[in-house]
Every structure is written in structure tokens, then in C-alpha cells.
Amino acid sequence: MNPDLFFQYVVAGITYGTIYAVVAIGFNIIYNATGIINFAQGEFVMLGGMTAVTLSRFLPLPVAILGAVAVTTVIGAVIDILFIRWLRGPSVLRMIIITIGVSILVREAALHVWGESVRALPYFTGTSVTSIKMGNVYISPQVLWVVGVSAVAVVALSAFFNYTMLGRQMRACAANRDAARLCGISAKNMVTLSFMLSAGIGAIGGAVVCPITYVQYDSGTPLAIKGFTVAILGGIGNSAAAVGAGMILGILESFSIWVLPAAYKEVISISLLLLILFIRPSGIFGSAEEARLKEF
Amino acid sequence: MRGRYLPVAAFAGLIVAIQMATHFTGSGYHLTQLTMSAYYSLLAIGLCLLVGYAGQISLGHAGFFAIGGYITALLTTHDLSSRAGGASRWLAKAGILSFRIDLYGGELLTVHPWVACLVAVLATVGIAYAVGGPVLKLKGHYLAMATLGFGVIIYRIVLGTEFLGAADGISEVPPFAILPGLEVSGKAALRVPNYYLAWGLVIAGMVLLLNLIHSREGRALSSIHGAEDAAEAMGIPTARYKLSAFALSAAFAGLAGVLLTHYNGGIGPSEASVMKSVRYVAIVAIGGMANLWGTLLMSLLLNYLSLRGYFGTYDDAVFGAILILIMLFAPGGLLRRDLLEEVRDVFRGNGEKAS
Amino acid sequence: MRRKRGFICAIVALALLVGAGVQAADPIKVGAILSVTGPASFLGAPEAKTLEMLVEEQNKKGGVLGRKIELIVKDSGASPEKAFSFAKQLMEEDKVFAIIGPSTSGETMKIKGVAEVGKTILLSCAAAEVIVNPVAKYVFKTPQKDSDAVVKIFQQMKTMKISKIGVLSSNTGFGKAGEEQIMKLAPEHGITVLASEVYDKAASDLTAEVTKVKAAGVEAILNWSIEPAQAIVIKNARQIGFKGPIFQSHGFGNIKYVEAAGEAAEGVLFPAGRLLVADVLPNSNPQKALLVKYKKDYESRYKEEASTFGGHAYDAFLILVKAIEKAGKVDMDAVRATIEQLTGVVGTGGVFNFSTTDHNGLNIDAFEMLTVRKGKFVPLAN
């Protein structure tokens, strides 16, 4: 393998990895606030992309994307209020099944609203053939957009959690729900907020990657599975680690086709998921002691 | 003891009554979908043992169904006649291989369905033991994801593998002659015997499972569901019991896969899809989780309606909606006497007793 | 508990009664098993819409031989087990005269035997050659042959002096069937396949795959798929600086894929039926009138571009109607035999000439090499 090819694979891996990391961060936000894994996370990404495409017909692109994020955020809140908020201490099994059900319903609703056809946003910069050439390695400007927007989102999120009152309240809830409640924090509101945040992040991701990956009513589920893998690989609940884990998985996948038929590419990531679950469920960046304290 | 078999007899009566009803109204064609739902029900009751009684969720049971189905399909369609050496002639004499004529008059030498069935079920159980060991050490979300991951891997393998027919799956699977004159096949003339064969198997499976859950092992499983650590402390070898339940439910799934593949004359990757696994869990959930009879009746009804296309383009949506509604309002399932009270409780705002 | 069981009995009994309901003998029943939803919905949805439109139109004209046509559409979601169940249901219960569909090869192969044994005409909208080879008496298909598409592409490559190619195909029945034909036919046309990769139909980025193919030193890429992911291949290939020509299969025949690929789709070469370029066909072309009408009707009714996929269902219905009219009676065996004698039937996919050994009826002339210019399909020859 010559160095050009090597770096081209690395670029491809970073593209996949960033997309996965965005989904994984969405998982982490809800997980931190509620201790549940939202199996409908991929659907937020799909909704973000779909709504952005629809709105971009009447609105300029940046406004359409903002609108899509707003709409998806509201949907996130509605999902929490309808299906999660009023349950008291539901079992993990029940929550898993409910979020799976939500994911199916959202997907089927999208099928009946938007039809089966594939949609895409235009490239933010240049066109689908534009690429930046570095040596003999080609990078699409949209990849830079995806990486850039994701980086901004991660930084903004961590600033939100560390420096704002609301963010600290959410962290307090995640750390110890009862103690937080005693301090006058509404745990229920924090959960709703976490659904909104995570839907919003998913929608941003969905809109930014949409020119590259396209979007269809059923494009959420495969992304969700990759997102889980990355979230667990990084240690669930840890968003910075999710970015690293996303890169690892993405690069692994892009190199995997060098040795394996591409038809088995998906098997790689899932096998990795199983391996991590069996050997080190706390994730490669997580601490095993900390994981033992979590409640499952 | 007698109380346990009374419902079995009643159910057998229902099965006979349905057949009679279709016979006298001249609508025997309903039996095709009813037979297919019998095989799905076989999987569902096995899964009910695992999810409902042992409390271990599996989002990958379609994978076991597909393993069984694909192995039998591969063995009974892979033509060996070009390699008809001494060994294969000997195997043919021993009944392991058999000759048959295909749709276009060519002669094929393939593995006999009985042997294929045996291999398929044993392989399914073997894989369940191998996978179950590490997977069942996990709990909660991790368990759900690991089983989901297992299901996805099986789906990807059948979809990506050339000799398993990739996206087309395997077609022209021969009928499975269980006894002389009784074969598992979708031929219209054999509709009634196939119907009784399928439901007979389901009833046998029910008897097995009912006995199991009322035995020492069954109570041990329930105790694992209730509080695994406490069960362990009481000296119950929880890991072993969980693994056995997992393997048994996989065996049910594998056998269902084998028989339905022979009945349909083929299998495709859709049988291994995640959505299928989710549907099976939905059926167990609506049946009431730890409720074999509820699961069986719901499986009969829902599979039948789905296979007849009553849900139209809303097929998956119906199952999604069922999952949510049941889990929100009746986590104990639909077929219970105290359901109404609980619904009332939910609206009064203290519904959480049930979970 | 017992009361509940009684309730279930009642439901089952009710369902049986509904199913066994009225069966008027008058209309000709035509079943359709199509993937209206699910992974192959991009095929099944336009097929179902086309059939609905045609049946309505035909019935407005007074039906066939004075009898109306009743269409029963079943959505299989591309699951073979459902296709099997629906085929049995349509044949045994609804006693349909013919079945149109299924949309995918995998499903069609599962019910090929069922239709043959049950002696019901099956007009498949799926492409794989195994559907009609070996020939089953009752099984026909309307899409053009994969092998003809491959040969058409290879001929074009020869005129462009291309001999080293890389193949990318999707992991679906369509991709698989095409890849097999490419591998089989390449040697006899002097084409060397230097790299062949299969990609996931739900892939989100395929840079790694095209990088591998490009690195093999190919002169052209042949990308065989019917799913949206094929547009990603084109785009990624151009992004990594692949300058050679990109060939696509007839599965590219949906303008949405061109829109999705944007600039990258410019200059893509692919064989297709003439539906996509109906407007610019010379008036002398026998298909022109029919194609323009179908396109106009479909697009004004459903507000979306017509694709060649819907055309497969169009042809299936057309052949059935022609055969019934020619046979002069609604008799299964007579109509089946008549289909085998149909020649010169102008459809959307080409001019059909059936025989007892050819249950597809189309040859390589059904294809035209098309290319994309300024986001539109145009014949390469122009």
C-alpha cells in the first residue's frame, strides 16, 4: 500500500468516524440524563436531514438547516413527553422496548410523509465533484464541514455542561438524581431537555452529512447501530471519548475493505461491539471501576 | 396437574375448530397462513421462556431462525451429483443423501431433509451455547445490544455470502418427508396435514415448556428474573440456567426456521432482519411477557393477520405501535384479568405498580 | 382466562368470515405482489402506482373483452416469506387470473415454483435471468435481460477502447445478478476486470471502496446497482480524482439518482429503455407515442418523475391485456399460450417478441446507451 492510498483510506475513515461520533454523542446525552439508551437516536439524524431537505425548497440553506434542527428538537421533546416523562421508575427492559417502538413509528411515519425516495441537500461549498487536493489525497469540502460542525458541536456541548447553570443542573441529575432533586432541580425537565439536546445534535449531524450520505426514511437505523458501537467503544456517557472511538471505528472500517470483501464491512463493526462488550464493557477509554458503579 | 393440561386440550380444540370452520365454509386457504404462523409461534413461545420467565431479552432471535432455515436450505439444495464418487453412493445408500427430480426434470443428489434438519437444529443449539456464554454475562442495555449485534452479524453474513444466495436467498428447497405420506410442503393438497403437523408441534412445545416452568428449573429461572443476585446467593447456578434457557429457545427458533423453510420452499435474508427479531419480542410483550398462553395466542393472531396482508403498508408500523402501547399502558400484557383496573390506575396517575 | 380465549375465537372466526366473503364472478382479478414499502420500495411504489393508473384507465375504456379488471395489490416489503404467503392467498383464495410482480428477484424465485405448480400466470417485474432460464411454462418477466445490458456496455467500451475495468456492485439481488453476468461475459468481449467490490445498499460513504478500485489502475468503473447508494459511488469516485468514464447499469434509470449525485453524474454512461428519453426520440421510433403518453399520465397524476421501474409493471399489464384480447377468452391456458405467441408488442421496455423458449421477449435492441448532460438523461448518439 502506497502512502497516498493509505492517507486516502484515513480520510475516508475520518468521514465515517465523524458521522458515527455525532450519533454516539446523541446517545450519551440521553444516557447521562436518564440512564436509558434511546434506540430511536438514528431517527433524529434522519429527521434532521429530511426536514432540512424539505425546508430548503422554500428557504435559504442555513435557515432551512436551523429550521430542521428546531423542528427535530421539538419532536425530541414531544417523544419524551408522550412516551417517557410520565413513567415512574420503568425497568430497563421496558425502556428498551419503548424506544425501539418509537424508532419504528418515526421511521414508518417518515415513509408515509415523505415517501420512499432518496433526498439530498446541495453541497455547502462547491459541488459534488469539488475536492481539495493535498498531495495525491483528495478531500471533499463537505467532509471538512462535517468535521468542523461536529467539532463546534462537541465544544459547545462541553461548554454548556461545564459553564452554564442549566448544563450543571443536568450533570447533577446524571450524577445523583435524588440529591439533585433535593436541591430543587426538576429531574423530569432535565430529561426532556436532554431529549431536546440530543435530537438537536442528531439533526445538525443529519443535515450536515446529508449531502454526502443522502437521506431516506430508513437511513436512521443503520446509523443508530454504528452509533451504539461507538458509544460503547468509547465508554458510554463519555462524549469526548466517543469522538475518539468514532475515528477508530471509521478508520478500521475503511481499512477493512482492503483485506475483506466490502460486503462484510458491517460485520467488522458489530464484531468489535461484541468483543468490547465481552471483554471491556466500560469501553476502551472508560474506567472499569466507574462502570461497575453504574446501575446495570 | 390436571389444571395445567386443561388449557392445552382447549387450545387443541381451538385448532381443530378452526380447521373444521375453514372446511365447512370452503375456505381451506386460510390454513396456509395459519400453518406459517404456527412455525413463527414455535419461535415465539421459546422466546417467551427466555424473555418472560428468565428475564433475558434477546433482539437477535431471528438470527437463530435464519441459521436453522439457511442450513437446511443449503444442504437440501446443494447438488452433489457431479461429485458422485464411492463415498456419496455409500452415503446415499445410508439415507444421508437422496436423489430427487427438480422442477425442470434434472436429477439432483442432495442431503436428505431429515439429516439436514438434524444438522441445522444441532448447529443452532451449538451456536447458541457458544454465543450465549459471553452474551448472557451482560445485563440490561448491554445484553440488548449484544443480542442485537448477534442478529445483525447473522443478517450481514447471509446477505453477503455468495453460496447462501446473497440478497436472493435460497429457492427451490424440496419438501421434507417426515414420514411416508406426510411431508412439510406448501402444496395445496397437503394443506390440512401440514396444518395439524405444525400446530401439533407447537402444542408439544407448549407441553414441554409448561412442564419446564412448573419444575424446579422453571422456578429457578423465574427467580433469576426477579433478582439475579439473590438467586445466585441461594445457590442457584444462574449462569448455567440462563444459558440452558437461551439454548432451548434457540432450538425452538432453529426448528421453526427449518420447517418453515421447507414449507415455503425457500428462505431469504429478510428472515434474519432486525425488524423480525423486534416483532418476536413485540409478540412476547403483548402476550404478557411471562405468559406462554398469551404469547401463543397473540402470535397466532398477529402473524396470521400480517401474513394475510391485513396491515397493508402499515405492517411494521402496527408492530411498533403495539410495542409502545403495551409497554406504556399494560407492561403485563393484554391477556390478563386485571388489565382494566390497571388502565384505570394509569389514568389516575399511579400506574407504576405494574412495572 | 377462558373468557379471553372465547374473545380470540370470535376474532379468528370473524376474520375467516371476512376473508370468505363475497366473490363476484364478473371482473377479471389480477393480483400484484409488490414491495410498496421496505428496502425495495423504490421499485414497488412506482410499480403499484402505475398499475393503479392503468387499471383505472382500462376499466374506463370498458375493461377487457367487456369485463372489468379488479386489481389486488399486496405489499410484500421485499420479504420472500410474505411473497409466498400472498402468492398462495391470491391463487387459492382470490383465484386471480394472473399475478404481476414480485419486484425483486429473490421473491420471484421463491414463488416461481408456486405459480408453476398452481398453473397461474406470473409476470415478474424483476430482472434476474434465472426467472426465465430455465423456462417455467407460467412464468414470464418484463425487465430487460442483465446480460444484454452488460453486452451493450461492453460494446460501448470497445468503441471507446477500454479494456481494464473495475466493478462495484451492491449487495442486493440486482447487484448480484449483474456482477455474475459481468464476470461471465467479460472474457469473450476482451474486457479484464481488475477489481470487483460489493458494497452495502445502505452505505453512507464509499470512498474506501472506490479508492481500492482506482488503485487497481482501471480505465473505467462499472457500477451495478439499483439503489440510491450507486449515486454515492459516482460522487466519491469523482471526489478522489477518478477521471475515467463511469458506466452504470439500467438500474440508474431514475432521475432522482442524478439529482442526488449532482455534478458528478455528468457524463455517466448507461444502457436503459427509452422511457427516460421519450421526449427527444425521433418520431419514427415505434415506442415514442406510448412512452410520451405514459410519462405524461404518470407525472401529471403522481407529481413525480416516471422511472423505468414503473415501466416494468406497465409492460406486464400491457402484455396480459394484449394476450387476453388476442386469445379472445379469459382462459388461463389459452392466454398463457397466447403470450408465448405475442410478437411486436410495443412496451416501455422495448418491443416484446415472446416464444416458447423466450419468456422475456426483449433483446439487446431494447437498450439505448444514455448519458447525463446538464442533469438530464440524453441518448449518447445525439
The mean per-residue pLDDT over the stretch B295-300 comes to: 93
The nearest alpha carbon in chain B to C107 belongs to B168
- Cβ within 8 Å, pair C16-B21: yes
CB burial string B86-105: b at 16+ within 10 A, e below: eeeeebbeeeebbeeeeeee
Name every chain C residue with its beta carbon within 8 A of the beta carbon of A147.
none
Q: Does A262 touch chain C (CB under 8 A)?
A: yes
Residue in C13, C74, C110 nearest the CB of B309: C74
CB burial string A215-250: b at 16+ within 10 A, e below: bbbbbbbbbbbbbbbbbbbbbbbbbbbbbbbbbbbb
Name every chain C residue with its beta carbon within 8 A of the beta carbon of B160.
171, 198
Q: Does C244 touch chain A (CB under 8 A)?
A: no
Name every chain C residue with its beta carbon within 8 A of the beta carbon of A222.
202, 204
The nearest alpha carbon in chain A to B153 belongs to A267
pLDDT of residue A289: 55
Equal CATH topology for C29-144+298-363 and C146-272: yes
User: Could you say which DSSP state residue C145 is in?
Assistant: P
pLDDT at B352 over 50: no
Residue in C209, C241, C264 nearest the CB of A262: C209
Confidence of residue B130 (pLDDT cuts 50, 70, 90): very high
CA gap B242, B49 in Å, rounded: 10
Higher pLDDT among residues B92 and C380, named by residue = C380
A238 with A28: CB under 8 angstroms? Answer: yes
CB burial of residue A126 (10 Å; 0-12, 13-18, 19+): middle
Antiparallel, parallel or unpaired: β B182-184 and B176-179:
antiparallel
- Can you tell me which residue has the cell 414420514? B179
Residue in B135, B141, B160 nearest the CB of A92: B141
Confidence of residue B343 (pLDDT cuts 50, 70, 90): low
- Cβ within 8 Å, pair B168-C11: no
* Ranges of each domain in chain C: 29-144+298-363, 146-272
pLDDT of residue A95: 85
User: Could you say which DSSP state residue C273 is in?
Assistant: -
For residue C342 the three cell numbers come to: 405475442
Closest CA to B133 of B221, B239, B281: B239
Q: Chains contacting A with at least 3 CB pairs below 8 Å? A: B, C
CA gap A142, A120 in Å, rounded: 13
- Cβ within 8 Å, pair C85-B307: yes
Residue of B29, B102, B155 to mutate when probing chain C, most C C-beta within 10 A: B29
Residue of C17, C110, C169, C226 to mutate when probing chain B, most B C-beta within 10 A: C110
The class of domain C29-144+298-363 in CATH terms is: alpha beta
- Cβ within 8 Å, pair B270-C89: no
- Cβ within 8 Å, pair C16-B22: yes
* Residue length of chain B: 355
- Helices (H) then strands (E): counts for chain A: 12, 2
For residue C223 the three cell numbers come to: 457500477
Q: Does C4 touch chain B (CB under 8 A)?
A: yes
Full pLDDT tens readout for chain A, 296 residues: 678 778 888 888 888 898 899 899 998 888 887 778 888 999 999 999 999 999 999 999 999 999 999 999 999 999 999 998 888 777 878 888 899 999 999 999 998 898 877 888 888 888 877 888 887 888 888 889 999 998 898 889 889 988 999 888 888 887 787 888 888 888 888 889 999 999 999 999 999 988 888 888 888 888 888 888 898 888 888 888 888 999 999 998 888 877 777 777 788 888 888 888 888 777 777 665 555 444 43
Can you list the residues of chain C whose pLDDT is less than 50?
A: 1-4, 10, 13-25
Antiparallel, parallel or unpaired: β C269-272 and C368-373:
antiparallel
Name every chain A residue with its beta carbon within 8 A of the beta carbon of C211.
5, 8-9, 12
pLDDT at B252 over 90: yes
pLDDT at B303 over 90: yes
The class of domain A3-293 in CATH terms is: mainly alpha
Beta strands in C52-158 (DSSP E): 69-75, 98-100, 121-124, 139-141
B259 with B251: CB under 8 angstroms? Answer: no
pLDDT of residue A236: 82
The nearest alpha carbon in chain A to C206 belongs to A12
Residue of A107, A147, A214, A219 to mutate when probing chain C, most C C-beta within 10 A: A214
For residue C8 the three cell numbers come to: 380470540
Q: Does A291 touch chain C (CB under 8 A)?
A: no
Q: How many CB pairs under 8 A join A and B?
A: 128
pLDDT of residue B109: 81
Element (H, E) at C192: strand C192-199
pLDDT of residue B309: 87
**CA distances in angstroms from A277 to A25, A238, B150, listed in the order given:** 19, 16, 12
CB atoms closer than 10 angstroms to residue B27: 17
Closest CA to B262 of B172, B344, B347: B172
Closest CA to B172 of B108, B117, B113, B102: B102
Name every chain B residue with its beta carbon within 8 A of the beta carbon of A225.
148-149, 152
Q: Chains contacting B with at least 3 CB pairs below 8 Å? A: A, C
Q: Does A114 touch chain C (CB under 8 A)?
A: no
Confidence of residue B1 (pLDDT cuts 50, 70, 90): low
> Looking at chain B from residue 314 to 353, which residues have their Cβ under 8 Å from any Cβ of chain A?
314, 316-317, 319-324, 327-328, 331, 351-352
Q: Does C303 touch chain A (CB under 8 A)?
A: no
Percent of all residues in chain B with a pLDDT value above 90, rounded to a whole number: 49
CA gap C205, C203 in Å, rounded: 6
Residue in B135, B159, B352 nearest the CB of A89: B352
Write out the DSSP string of C91-105. Answer: IIIS--SEEE--SSH
For residue B132 the three cell numbers come to: 450465549
**Helix C2-19 to helix B292-307 angle, to the nearest 10 degrees?**
10
Widest pairwise Cα distance in chain A = 61
Interval B17-37: pLDDT, tens: 999 999 998 888 899 999 999
> Looking at chain A from residue 14 to 33, which residues have their Cβ under 8 Å from any Cβ of chain C?
15-16, 19
CA gap A199, A197 in Å, rounded: 5
CA gap C111, A295 in Å, rounded: 50
To the question of domain C146-272 being in CATH 3.40.50.2300, the answer is yes
CB atoms closer than 10 angstroms to residue C159: 8
